[in-house]
Amino acid sequence: MGISKKCYLMRKRFVSLSLLLLLSGLASAQPQVVGEVQSYVAQKGDTLLAIARKYHLAIDHLCFANGWPTDATEIWEGTEVKVPAAHIPPQKPPAQGLVVNLPERLVYFYREGRLKKILPCSIGHPTKSRTPSFSARVTEKVKDPIWYPPEWSSLRGPVKPGKDNPLGDRWLGLSYGRYGIHSTYDPENVGNDVTHGCIRLFPEDLRQLFPQVQVGEPVYVTYETAKLGKDEQGRLVLATFPDVYHQSSPVGRARRLLQSAGVAWRPELTQQLKACTGLPIVVSAGNPKE
- pLDDT tens digits for range 101-153: 999 999 999 999 999 999 999 999 999 899 999 999 999 999 999 988 777 67
Contact indicator for 28, 226 with CB cutoff of 8 Å = no
The predicted structure's pLDDT at residue 285: 77
Please compute the mean of the pLDDT values over residues 8-35 and round it to a whole number: 52
- pLDDT tens digits for range 81-93: 999 999 999 999 9
Dihedral sign, Cα of residue 185, residue 177, residue 16, residue 28:
positive
The predicted structure's pLDDT at residue 280: 97
The predicted structure's pLDDT at residue 182: 98
280 DSSP 8-state letter: -
* Assigned fold of 3-12+26-84: Membrane-bound Lytic Murein Transglycosylase D; Chain A (3.10.350)
> Between β-strands 180-182 and 199-201, what pairing exists: parallel, antiparallel or unpaired?
parallel
The predicted structure's pLDDT at residue 290: 47
The predicted structure's pLDDT at residue 157: 76
What's the whole-model pTM score? 0.88
One-letter amino acid of 82: K
The predicted structure's pLDDT at residue 149: 79
253 DSSP 8-state letter: H
One-letter amino acid of 105: R
The predicted structure's pLDDT at residue 154: 73
Residue 208 confidence (pLDDT) above 70: yes
Residue 17 confidence (pLDDT) above 50: no
- 97-222 CATH, one of 2.30.31.70, 2.60.40.1890, 2.40.440.10, 3.40.50.620: 2.40.440.10
- pLDDT tens digits for range 235-288: 999 999 999 999 999 999 999 999 999 999 999 999 999 999 999 999 987 544
Contact indicator for 110, 99 with CB cutoff of 8 Å = yes
| Cα–Cα dist 194/93, whole Å | 27
The predicted structure's pLDDT at residue 13: 34
Between 284 and 188, where is the model more confident? 188
Domain residue ranges of the chain, discontinuous segments joined by +: 3-12+26-84, 97-222, 226-284
| Cα–Cα dist 19/22, whole Å | 5
Between 279 and 19, where is the model more confident? 279
DSSP, residue by residue, 150-165: -TT-S--S-B-SSTT-
Contact indicator for 126, 244 with CB cutoff of 8 Å = yes
- pLDDT tens digits for range 48-101: 999 999 999 999 999 999 999 999 999 999 999 999 999 999 999 999 999 999
| Cα–Cα dist 12/196, whole Å | 10
Please compute the mean of the pLDDT values over residues 195-200 and round it to a whole number: 96
C-alpha distance from residue 102 to each of 10, 197, 203, 224 (Å): 22, 11, 19, 7
Average pLDDT over the chain, rounded to an integer: 89
